[in-house]
């Protein structure tokens, strides 16, 4: 049953569904949503954004795809009302969980999450789950360090911005906290929003070598971050997860492969469409 829907921006929303039965899952996995309306059933996979702690209430972060069968229905007010009020003939079912895009509990390396758009969803589940585990861990447990790079076309499409910013500020204010989050939101069409003063460019761009900046000029913010990531990221100390747009995922794998990261061992990937 649809329990809630938060519009992040036009064509981008967070959906919360209550399940009839528990569906235990691991952070990073996806479920298949089966939507029935007007005698037709459409199934599509969606990464679960909520923490595995509550396996009866699932959260999803979904964007509207033009002419998309499922997403047009999820943006149809008549269908949404029918789901909320449980009208006969309109329903959602979930099957799963599925997928191996998960954290390896035996891997203690620091985590780098690279997401484009709604590719952030599995990372929200992972971060929330790590935060809960950290809060329950005994004092003296080594903090888990997570760097999250989230790319969106415009600032308004940076969903979960507030939650991730708060986590980062808490990490800075409380160094003893057992989850240390560095949040790097970046916008690929900054010219369309002159108020944006943050990082510019696609998510994968931040992993590229900044090259030689002109010596006279002050380095750009992006070049500072790129230089920092270039110096810090090593397959011995970091494991990288990339999710979302297939182009972003391919670019992350290509850029990091050139630096000695090996696919599967050091880079884990999840693509949303071919």
Ligand X SMILES: Cc1cc2nc3c(=O)[nH]c(=O)nc-3n(C[C@H](O)[C@H](O)[C@H](O)COP(=O)(O)OP(=O)(O)OC[C@H]3O[C@@H](n4cnc5c(N)ncnc54)[C@H](O)[C@@H]3O)c2cc1C
Give the footprint of ligand X on this chain (CB under 6 A).
Answer: 30, 44-47, 60-63, 65, 67-71, 99, 118, 121, 270, 272-273
Q: What's the token pair of residue 236? A: 């011995």
In the complex with ligand X, which residue's Cβ is closer, 46 or 196?
46
Query: Given the structure tokens 């949303």, which residue do they identify?
Result: 272
Structure tokens that stand for 15 in this block: 């959906």
Q: Which is nearer to ligand X, 186 or 248 (CB)?
A: 248
Helices (H), 153-220: 161-173
CA distances from 66 to 40, 70, 71, 73, 75 (A): 19, 10, 8, 11, 11
Rg (CA), the chain: 19
Contact 237, 66 (CB under 8 A): no
* Close Cβ partners of 211 (under 8 Å, ≥ 6 residues apart): none
Q: Which residue's Cβ has the minimum distance to ligand X?
A: 68
Give 117 or 185: the residue with its C-beta nearer to ligand X. Answer: 117
CB atoms within 10 A of CB 126: 24
Residue whose CB is less far from ligand X, 73 or 171: 73
Smallest distance, Å, CB 6 to ligand X? 14
Write down the least CB distance from residue 183 to ligand X, Å: 19
Strand partners, 268: 241
Nearest approach in angstroms of CB 253 to ligand X is: 17
Between residues 67 and 212, which has the closer beta carbon with respect to ligand X? 67
Question: What CA–CA distance (Å, rounded) separates 5 from 64?
Answer: 13
Of 144 and 269, which has the nearer Cβ to ligand X?
A: 269
Q: CB of residue 191 vs ligand X: minimum separation in angstroms?
A: 22
Question: Min. distance of Cβ 1 from ligand X in angstroms?
Answer: 19
- Shortest Å, Cβ 270 to ligand X: 6
């Amino acid at each position: 049953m649809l329990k809630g829907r938060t519009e992040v921006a036009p064509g981008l929303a967070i959906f919360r569904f209550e399940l009839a039965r528990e569906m235990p899952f691991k952070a990073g996995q996806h479920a298949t949503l089966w939507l029935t309306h007007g005698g037709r059933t459409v199934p599509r996979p969606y990464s679960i954004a909520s923490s595995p702690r509550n396996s009866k209430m699932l959260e999803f972060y979904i964007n509207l795809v033009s002419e998309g069968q499922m997403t047009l229905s999820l943006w149809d007010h008549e269908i949404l009302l029918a789901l909320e009020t449980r009208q006969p003939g309109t329903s959602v079912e979930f099957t799963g969980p599925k997928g191996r895009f998960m954290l390896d509990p035996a891997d203690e390396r620091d985590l780098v999450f690279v997401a484009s758009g709604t590719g952030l969803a599995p990372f929200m589940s992972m971060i929330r789950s790590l935060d809960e585990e950290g809060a329950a861990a005994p004092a003296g447990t080594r903090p888990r360090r997570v760097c999250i790079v989230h790319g969106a076309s415009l600032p308004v499409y940076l969903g979960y911005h507030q939650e991730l910013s708060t986590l980062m500020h808490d990490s800075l204010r409380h160094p003893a906290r057992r989850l240390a989050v560095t949040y790097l939101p970046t916008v690929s069409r900054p010219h369309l929003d002159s108020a944006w003063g943050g990082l510019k460019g696609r998510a994968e761009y931040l992993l590229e070598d900044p090259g030689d900046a002109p010596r006279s000029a002050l380095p750009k913010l992006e070049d500072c971050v790129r230089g920092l990531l270039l110096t810090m990221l090593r397959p011995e100390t970091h494991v990288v997860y990339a999710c979302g747009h297939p182009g972003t995922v391919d670019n992350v794998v290509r850029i990091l492969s050139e630096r000695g990261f090996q696919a599967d061992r050091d880079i884990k990937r999840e693509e949303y469409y071919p």
